[in-house]
Structure formats: C-alpha cells, structure tokens
C-alpha cells in the first residue's frame, strides 16, 4: 500500500482509546534513516509520529494509547496531560510525545 502526503494531510488522528488527538499536517521522510513520520497538529503543538505506529484509512488510528506509567506506584493508566498520578498523587513530569 502506498501513502502519499496528499492522501493523508487533513485526516483526523485518534489514539487507541478513540480520543481525537489532532490532525495530520504533513508526511515527512528522514533520508538518513528512511523513516516516514506523520506531522500531527495537537493542542500541545506539532508532534511527529512514525507511520509504523499508525493505521491509516479514513482516519489515522495510533497504535499506542498515549497513557503514561507512574514512576512511583507503577499505575499504567495515567492520562498524558496529568500533573499528578490519579492513584498515589505523585507529581509527574510534563507530558511526553507519543511515539
């Protein structure tokens, strides 16, 4: 299957929890690694997501849900924008990029 920039630009992007996280703005290729990435506009800014971590159809579905793991208690369903762990209250570092 071939993917062109024009066929993917503008598609909505959803995470594995079916939450809309942004829209595809571009498709880029790293010539030194050969890796193709989607440039996704999110409310936090642009993020690059490797094409291999997404299913592309009428929408773009990310294969990873973007949840974080608490470094203190190990809780694995911490929302990506959380400042504190919902289970133990441990302060968390700023959100990280998906991918």
Residues 25-77: tens digit of each pLDDT: 999 999 999 999 999 998 878 989 889 889 999 999 998 766 778 889 988 77
Rounded Cα gap, residues 17 and 33, in angstroms: 30
The answer to whether 64 and 53 are in contact (CB under 8 A) is yes
What's residue 61's pLDDT?
Answer: 93
pTM above 0.85, yes or no: no
How many whole angstroms from its chain centre is CA 6?
Answer: 20
Domain residue extents for the chain: 5-62, 67-93
What's residue 94's pLDDT?
Answer: 61
Question: Between 3.40.50.2300, 2.30.30.240, 3.40.50.200, 3.40.50.150, what CATH number should domain 5-62 receive?
Answer: 2.30.30.240
What's residue 58's pLDDT?
Answer: 95
What's residue 82's pLDDT?
Answer: 82
């Amino acid at each position: 299957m071939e993917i062109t920039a024009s066929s993917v630009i503008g598609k909505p992007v959803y995470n594995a929890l079916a939450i809309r996280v942004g829209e595809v703005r571009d498709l880029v290729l790293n010539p030194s690694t050969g890796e193709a990435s989607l440039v996704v506009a999110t409310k936090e800014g642009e993020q690059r997501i490797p094409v291999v971590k997404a299913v592309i159809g009428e929408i773009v579905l990310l294969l990873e849900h973007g949840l974080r793991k608490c470094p203190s208690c190990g809780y694995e369903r911490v929302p990506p924008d959380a400042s504190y762990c919902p289970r133990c209250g441990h302060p968390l570092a700023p959100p990280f990029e998906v991918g």
